[in-house]
Amino acid sequence: MPNSKLKQAFDKGKFVVTAEAGPLKGTFTEEIEEVARVLKGKVDALNVTDQQSSVMRLGSLVTCHLLIDRGVEPIFQVTCRDRNRIALQSDLLSAWVLGVENCVALTGDLPSSGDHPHAKPVYDLDSVQLLQVIRGLNEGHDMSGNELKGKPDFFAGAVVNPGADTEAAYELQILKMEKKIAAGARFFQTQAIFDPNVFAKFMKRVEHLKVPVLAGVIPLKSAGMARFMNKNVAGINVPEAMIGRMTKAEDKTRTGIELCAELIKSIKDLCQGVHVMAIGWEKKVPDILAAAGL
């Protein structure tokens, strides 16, 4: 019986390390294959994004298959934006047949934020409903109650934003987290964290939920990147001290790696693992992990 190595790592109490792999726009796969080679043995799994930021790219499913072929365990990211319930269920069954055992359910960004702004959004389901569907498939039936001839056993995850801007938004994130757990989420990946104190407060609030949390981290490439995220990405707040260090840094790559490693060290005891969203710096993930002592 297949058994997710990611699930096994959580069950053993290991500090889990995952990273993100974004398919490129086109049929060029050498880059993703090189990322797999660099990160094999360094991370427990690679999360494959699904048309990230509503930008059309090579599909998440085939990219997961490429990773499996190269000995890297994938996490199949599935968004509700582009597919109805029939296509979502079919893609999940296809993923299982191809050897994919982990998935993360997301609602998905609006198409207007991407490179095909006039695309028609689907949103037949939301992320909570999709988790319920995945649980149903695992139990051996589709969304209409029809029996499956052969069933998957997905280790399903979800996302949460610990840095919500207002108290109402913060409470809503915790409520959604509880709903996702009730729907079948077995682990969580967070939106990017930059302030350990904010993350500590969040983890204190959700410790009763007893579910593994992977803290999302993004290595900074420049002060401009930090200011852009502060202005444009909901729930992200890069502290001024970090921005100041990046501004003064002569070697910005080295400083970005150091800052990310320091952040991982400061939150390591608060969570069950870390999810590194390197955004083009995937090949530097081993350096970040080494600097963090992982």
User: Measured between alpha carbons, how far is 264 from 278 in angstroms, rounded to an integer?
Assistant: 13
What CATH number labels 5-291? 3.20.20.220
Q: 15-28 b/e with 16+ CB inside 10 Å = b? A: ebbbbbbbbeeeee
The domain locations on the chain are 5-291
Burial (CB < 10 A; 0-12, 13-18, 19+), residue 246, is buried
- Written as tens digits, the pLDDT of the chain (294 aa) is 567 999 999 999 999 999 999 898 999 999 999 999 999 999 999 999 998 888 999 999 999 999 999 999 999 999 999 999 999 999 999 999 999 999 999 998 888 888 899 999 999 999 999 999 999 999 999 999 999 999 999 999 999 999 877 788 888 999 999 999 999 999 999 999 999 999 999 999 999 999 999 999 999 999 999 999 998 887 788 999 999 999 999 999 999 999 999 999 999 999 999 999 998 899 999 999 999 998
Exposure on the CB side of residue 288, measured as CA atoms within 13 A:
30
pLDDT, residue 2, reads 61
Amino acid of residue 237? N
Instruction: Report angle CA 238, 200, 44 to the nearest 5 degrees.
Output: 85
Could you identify the residue written with the tokens 């999302």? 216
Exposure on the CB side of residue 202, measured as CA atoms within 13 A:
31
3-state secondary structure of 205: helix
**Residues 63, 97 contacting (CB under 8 angstroms):** no
If you average pLDDT over every residue of the chain, what do you get? 94
User: Measured between alpha carbons, how far is 105 from 126 in angstroms, rounded to an integer?
Assistant: 9
3-state secondary structure of 57: coil
User: Measured between alpha carbons, how far is 222 from 178 in angstroms, rounded to an integer?
Assistant: 36
**Residues 57, 22 contacting (CB under 8 angstroms):** yes
